Chains A and B, each alone.
Chain A
Amino acid sequence: MLSLHAARKSFGAVRALVDGSIDLYPGEVHALLGENGAGKSTMVKILAGVHRPDGGEVLIDGRPVVLSDPAAARDAGIAIIYQEPNLFPDLSVAENVFMGRQPLRSGRRIDTSAMHDQVEAVLERLGVRLDPGRISRGLSIADQQIVEIAKALTLRARVIVMDEPTAALSAVEVDRLFRVVSALRADGAAVMFISHRLEEVFSLCQRVTVMRDGRHVVTKSIGELTVDEIVRAMVGRELVQRDVVTRAETGKTVLRVERLSREGAFTDVTFEVRAGEIVALAGLVGAGRSEVACTIFGIDRRDAGSVTVAGRVLKSGSPNDAMAAGVGFVPEDRRQQGLVMSMSIERNIALASLGRLRRHGIVLRAVERSFAADWGARLHLKYGRLSNAASTLSGGNQQKVVLAKWLSREPQVLIVDEPTRGIDIGTKAEVHRLLVELADSGVAILMISSELPEVLRLADRILVMREGRLVADFTGAEATEELVVGAATGQPSGARR
């Protein structure tokens, strides 16, 4: 019914999709699987008409179509159900379903009763009890998804793409969604279903396509695949050799996190990081890793538990206190959280060290500049002038500025969240080397990364989080990609034994 064939898409130098191919058939639920960054979302956005592919084609019933914008995709009979739908909160369920195409009576008045009747009929077909006249505000995410599905049906969509619909649902809601999807399938719709939870895929889908690094890897019917085979296809690469074998003895515990909890983000997280140790927090996007980091550093308040740095209990919700105890934090979002982009390079580097640079309360520009030049040189920062805005730097050099800002404080504990995201390979290697050197010099490093090769290469220990909880703890020596992915997706693979 719908085919995406050899689609390509690049964003700048990043090739998000190299060979995106999938065939959807009526009356079939087709799972699209892959790690973070495998190109799944890019494919969804191509089908949604949000991105135009650089190459390849979209076929509907064998005829090529151009999905130039979301309206074109809708007209082609494609509906996308996102993880968190965007409804108009102050309008009723029925009004949301018929937004922009309300049935009219004479005099261009909206025919409310016809609208309600149609929505009621659709919801009945889906086997869901929901009042069409209800205001959308306060609907659960599961119900909001149902509203989107109802909208898709009234649009006579024949292809329904669901992008991780179950990520934010409870078990009961997932069951109901599955019944709805089964009803759609029975109606002859072609469904594309993205999920990280393999057990869902096995219970719902008839066919599986696995993507890796932007490429199509395998498509098979579900009966021909085992969990192990799928995980291996997702991970795929040659297993990464660790170039850091064993480092000198790690020192005493510096960072101790005990029973740390934050409502709605993560629960009961306990671990330690020793001096000279690199500990990685692995897991899927949304597993709660960054939230743990933000709570340790005090950006967010904790609801329970404690964070201790070298015997000192940190105040909840105080980055200042964490910094005073010797914690540095290179956050996930460089542009928004790591840097003040419009400020000069030197001021960004010195921003967290002004307390040490001042004499009698005065920060001299010359002192600040030589401080920044010194740290820029140590990190091989490439810049025009130190007085240029940070925004003039390339991504890799911006990340070096953030690193310089924290390293210049000589931290005991350094938390890095996705330290190499979106930076070129050369700088990436430099950052890796830097982290290892820091650890060797006795800094305790907590690293969050969604890149498994990076995690496996650098980490002495790997903690895996899933749905807000720590679920596994591997030493660097015993960890394999299969083990980590298995723990992160909650699907114990055979490799774990």
Chain B
Amino acid sequence: MARDVLGAETTPTPATLAGSGDLGSTSGSQGRHVPRDGRIKSLVRWEGGLVVCLVAVLVLGVVVSPAFLSSANLLNMGLSNGEISIMALPMTLVVISGEIDLSVASTLGLSSSMIGYLWLHGWPMPGIILTVLVMGVGLGAVNGLLVTRLGLPSLAVTIGTLTLYQGAGIIILGSTTVANFPSAYTNIGVAAFPHTDLSWSTVIFIVLAFVFGVVLHATKVGRSIFAIGANKEAAIYAGIRVKRIKTSLFVVSGFVCALAGVLYTFRLSTAEYDNGTGLELNVVAIVLLAGVSIFGGTGTIIGVVLSALVFAGIQNALFLTSFPQEALGVVIGGLLLASVLAPGSAELVQRVRLAVGSIRRRTGARTR
């Protein structure tokens, strides 16, 4: 009904619209809003920066060792970074929605313990995998419901479940190490995907990255996730089901982490209670390096893919040198800090520029 009335009004051509629009925006308080607008542009710059980083890492790798780009090493890189990269995908969505899930590595660990426990009790492997994935959904749902229904901060909730899920793993499996898995399965953990040089985990990552990318950037749910992270209240007023979406994000995170747990267990051919301990920090590092705002509302899956590649490249290049593996934390920590500092510094530069500009204008006006 409304359409008819309004449609009857004159419809300016896009050209005249753009023209009058320029007038409109200059009449507004333009200067003050530049930083926000700049943030959207800085996203593009961010991914450009990641590409530069990636090239630098590739060059570094090749210089360090001629074997860097060999198919064996590529497989290796995929193997040692597959699970954390996979877990970074749902984490990206969770962080964009303004939350965080620190229980990802514990979910992986508990899944591993569960696989060991059920295998010891003679379950068939397909049943075990199915059970573990369902458990992952449950673990994610616990996080999601605590956050959305009780209104608790996800940082606190998932630190809680981080230790809780870890503890559950210890209770289930104790100090037992289960390592007698059939090679048909453990091969998935170490062999390349048929007809490629890529690990199974890499292929799964690529497929999931595509799915998550489409969901985040081209669906209603994805748009809602951005809106929730940028302004939860406005999202509620636009009829977005904030609680439901957030809960599902945690559920998806739990499911994907359980899947990562399966891959991890097969890769090491070992189920132990402390599998994956501490990996959550690597996952968070990849997500932040990808330019995803820790406060929510911005980020891209392309960025996460690039960041996962950079992360894997650096780690592998260092591995090929004599860099002590124990000190890898220095690199991860450095990356984390750099990625948090970088957008701030970009804004700082912009602010300084604006300030200098306004001082110039003022002094200019005075001298005139």
Say if the beta carbon of A71 comes within 8 Å of chain B: no
Complex: A488 Cα to B324 Cα, angstroms? 76
Say if the beta carbon of A104 comes within 8 Å of chain B: no
* Shortest CB distance A396–B (Å): 9
* Shortest CB distance A291–B (Å): 14
Given contacts A344-B40, A373-B14, A378-B7, whether A384 and B238 have CB atoms under 8 Å apart is: no
Say if the beta carbon of A134 comes within 8 Å of chain B: no
Which A residues are in CB contact (< 8 Å) with B230?
340-343
Closest residue on chain A to residue B235 by CB atoms = A340
Closest residue on chain B to residue A275 by CB atoms = B1
Near B by CB (< 8 A), chain A positions 282-341 give 299, 319-320, 322-323, 329, 331, 336-341
Which A residues are in CB contact (< 8 Å) with B231?
336, 339-342
Complex: A373 Cα to B24 Cα, angstroms? 16
Name the one of B12, B30, B236 contacting A299, with C-beta atoms under 8 angstroms.
B236
Which B residues are in CB contact (< 8 Å) with A443?
1-2
Name the one of B23, B33, B223 contacting A382, with C-beta atoms under 8 angstroms.
B23
* Shortest CB distance A88–B (Å): 24
Say if the beta carbon of A441 comes within 8 Å of chain B: yes
A352 and B37 within 8 A (CB): no
Given contacts A378-B9, A384-B24, whether A358 and B219 have CB atoms under 8 Å apart is: yes
Name the one of A344, A364, A392 contacting B30, with C-beta atoms under 8 angstroms.
A392
Given contacts A320-B239, A340-B227, A373-B17, whether A392 and B5 have CB atoms under 8 Å apart is: no
Which A residues are in CB contact (< 8 Å) with B21?
382-385
Complex: A365 Cα to B217 Cα, angstroms? 9
Which B residues are in CB contact (< 8 Å) with A410?
1-3
Say if the beta carbon of B11 comes within 8 Å of chain A: yes
Name the one of A351, A383, A387 contacting B25, with C-beta atoms under 8 angstroms.
A383
Near B by CB (< 8 A), chain A positions 111-159 give none
* Shortest CB distance B222–A (Å): 8
Interface size class of B (residues with CB under 8 A): 35 or more
Interface size class of A (residues with CB under 8 A): 35 or more
Complex: A175 Cα to B231 Cα, angstroms? 43
A383 and B24 within 8 A (CB): yes
Complex: A175 Cα to B219 Cα, angstroms? 59
Residue interface mask B1-39, A partner, CB < 8 A = 1? 111111101011010011011111101101001001101
Which B residues are in CB contact (< 8 Å) with A337?
233-234, 237
Near A by CB (< 8 A), chain B positions 208-241 give 214, 218-220, 223-224, 226-227, 230-231, 233-241
Q: Which of B2, B11, B298 has the most CB of A within 10 A?
A: B2
Say if the beta carbon of A171 comes within 8 Å of chain B: no
* Shortest CB distance B295–A (Å): 10
* Shortest CB distance B247–A (Å): 15
Complex: A465 Cα to B117 Cα, angstroms? 65
Which B residues are in CB contact (< 8 Å) with A383?
17, 21, 24-25
Complex: A351 Cα to B238 Cα, angstroms? 7
A362 and B218 within 8 A (CB): yes
Given contacts A438-B5, A443-B1, whether A354 and B220 have CB atoms under 8 Å apart is: yes
B237 and A331 within 8 A (CB): yes
* Shortest CB distance A411–B (Å): 7
A407 and B220 within 8 A (CB): no
A392 and B25 within 8 A (CB): yes
Which B residues are in CB contact (< 8 Å) with A379?
6
B36 and A342 within 8 A (CB): yes
B220 and A389 within 8 A (CB): no
Given contacts A392-B25, A394-B28, whether A342 and B3 have CB atoms under 8 Å apart is: no
Complex: A322 Cα to B241 Cα, angstroms? 13
A342 and B297 within 8 A (CB): yes
A389 and B33 within 8 A (CB): yes
Complex: A410 Cα to B20 Cα, angstroms? 27
Residue interface mask A77-116, B partner, CB < 8 A = 1? 0000000000000000000000000000000000000000
Given contacts A320-B239, A388-B37, whether A377 and B214 have CB atoms under 8 Å apart is: no
Which A residues are in CB contact (< 8 Å) with B218?
362-365
Which B residues are in CB contact (< 8 Å) with A331?
237
Residues of B near any A CB (own CB < 8 A): 1-7, 9, 11-12, 14, 17-18, 20-25, 27-28, 30, 33, 36-37, 39-40, 214, 218-220, 223-224, 226-227, 230-231, 233-241, 297-298
Subset of 7 A-B contacts with CB under 8 Å: A319-B236, A336-B231, A336-B233, A343-B227, A347-B227, A363-B223, A380-B12
* 6 closest residue pairs by CB, A with B: A382-B24, A354-B220, A384-B25, A441-B5, A394-B28, A378-B6
| 16 more A-B residue pairs beyond the given contacts A384-B21, A384-B24, A442-B1, with a C-beta to C-beta distance below 8 A | A319-B238, A331-B237, A340-B234, A358-B219, A358-B220, A374-B11, A376-B17, A377-B17, A379-B6, A384-B22, A384-B25, A388-B37, A393-B28, A397-B24, A407-B6, A438-B2
